[in-house]
Amino acid sequence: MENFFQMEFTKTQVNAVSNLGLAHIGDGVYELLCRTYLCSRGDKTVSTLHKDTVDMVNATAQAAFAEKLLPELTEEEMAYFRRGKNAHTHAAPKAAGKKAYAMATGLETLFGALYLMGRTDRLNELFAMITEK
């Protein structure tokens, strides 16, 4: 049986995952980071935690965070971001335009790729940049 919790895919293995597959994984990774961050900031009601999480994980917020990270990305990271940004998605949410949705998908793809390669230190570093005021 494969161990799916020890993520150390090679670059070749990560590149074999579809753009939207990487975004799917990255969406979960990003949301977990947001939830962890919000819980670490102190006592909040479940309702407040949910609202604050939604505020961080919506496409418009993710697009803004992506813009903040772009100058800090390596060439390899930019390639993953572009893969997601240029992925052919079928629909964008009504609350976000196509550009914001594409940027959010790029961010999720990047986070998915880093997670699968086991680069959690870099994930944490990028997430810290997102949450800096």
**Residue closest to 126 by CA, chosen among 58, 60, 80, 59:** 80
As a whole number of Å, the CA-based R_g of the chain is 15
Kindly name the residue from 27, 43, 55, 121 that is annotated as catalytic.
Answer: 27
| DSSP letter assigned to residue 36 | H
Task: Please state, in angstroms and rounded to a whole number, the distance separating the CA atoms of residues 83 and 99.
Answer: 14
Q: Is 43 a catalytic residue?
A: no
Residues carrying an active site annotation: 27
